[in-house]
């Protein structure tokens, strides 16, 4: 007898209410008790603190971002039009990374991530709000942040040949930001 595949429903770590989990989602707020939680490949479901920024229009959804401070160190090689000095100055201090955690195109992900890194918003805490599904796993944040750095460097007005990048990222927090 062939048994049907059984999907194990995700239940809240605090009150055991079934979570309204959709495929590809990795974080939820329990509809019963309000506990936020994150699904991790290694650790399973664990409690999560979600931070809400001020400015989300009441009744609308905010966008989730993984936000972390990171120190990039990079070595650039260029064919011509050397902008290495600009790059060195820019990355000489830690920067705040805003990695889109919602489902979006690669273009949007990199474009939004680069724009917010170059002009970081001031995060003022605000009331809890609904938000778009969180689909970018925590485990993918560093690689995505590196991708954003590479996009910024490729965008400098010189002919970059090669970039060696090391990025030390602090543990990210999940922020819900107003749509921009
Ligand atoms: Zn709950």
Q: How far is the CA of 114 from the centre of ligand 1 (A)?
A: 35
Spans in the chain with pLDDT lower than 50? none
Distance of CA 154 from the midpoint of ligand 1 (Å): 45
Question: pLDDT value at position 76?
Answer: 82
The answer to whether the beta carbons of residues 107 and 113 sit under 8 Å apart is no
CA of 47 to the centre of ligand 1 (A): 10
Task: Give Cα separations from 131 to 62, 89, 112 (angstroms).
Answer: 4, 36, 17
Distance 11 CA to ligand 1 centre (A): 8
Q: How far is the CA of 28 from the centre of ligand 1 (A)?
A: 10
Long-range CB contacts (within 8 A, 24+) of 101-108: 101/27, 101/64, 101/65, 101/66, 101/134, 101/135, 101/136, 101/174, 102/63, 102/64, 102/131, 102/132, 102/133, 102/134, 102/135, 102/136, 103/24, 103/132, 103/133, 103/135
Q: How far is the CA of 14 from the centre of ligand 1 (A)?
A: 5
Q: What is the pLDDT of residue 3?
A: 63
Helix/strand/coil for 85 = helix
Which parts of 30-62 are beta strand (E)?
36-40, 44-47, 50-52
Half-sphere CA count of 147, side-chain side, radius 13 A: 16
> For residue 116, what pLDDT is reported?
97
How far does the centroid of ligand 1 lie from the alpha carbon of residue 6, in Å?
Answer: 23
How many angstroms separate the alpha carbon of residue 80 from the centre of ligand 1?
57
pLDDT of res. 82 = 74
pLDDT at 75 (0 to 100)? 85
What are the structural domain ranges in the chain? 56-120+134-177
- Per-residue pLDDT at 4: 62
Entry pTM? 0.90
Classified as helix, coil or strand, 106 is: helix
């Amino acid at each position: 007898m062939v048994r049907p595949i059984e999907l194990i429903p995700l239940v809240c770590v605090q009150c055991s209410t079934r979570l309204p989990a959709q495929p590809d989602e990795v974080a939820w707020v329990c509809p019963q008790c309000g506990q936020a939680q994150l699904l991790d490949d290694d650790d399973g479901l664990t409690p999560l603190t979600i931070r809400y920024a001020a400015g989300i229009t009441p009744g609308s959804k905010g966008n989730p971002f993984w936000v972390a401070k990171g120190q990039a160190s990079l070595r650039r090689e260029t064919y011509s039009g050397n902008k290495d000095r600009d790059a060195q100055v820019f990355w000489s201090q830690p920067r705040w990374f805003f990695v889109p955690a919602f489902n979006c195109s690669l273009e949007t992900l990199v474009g939004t991530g680069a724009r917010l890194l170059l002009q970081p918003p001031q995060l003022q805490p605000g009331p809890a709000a609904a938000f778009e599904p969180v689909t970018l796993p925590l485990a993918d944040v560093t690689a995505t942040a590196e991708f954003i750095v590479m996009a910024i460097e490729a965008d400098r007005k010189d002919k970059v040949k090669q970039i060696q990048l090391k990025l030390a990222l602090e543990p990210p927090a999940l922020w819900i930001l107003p749509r921009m």
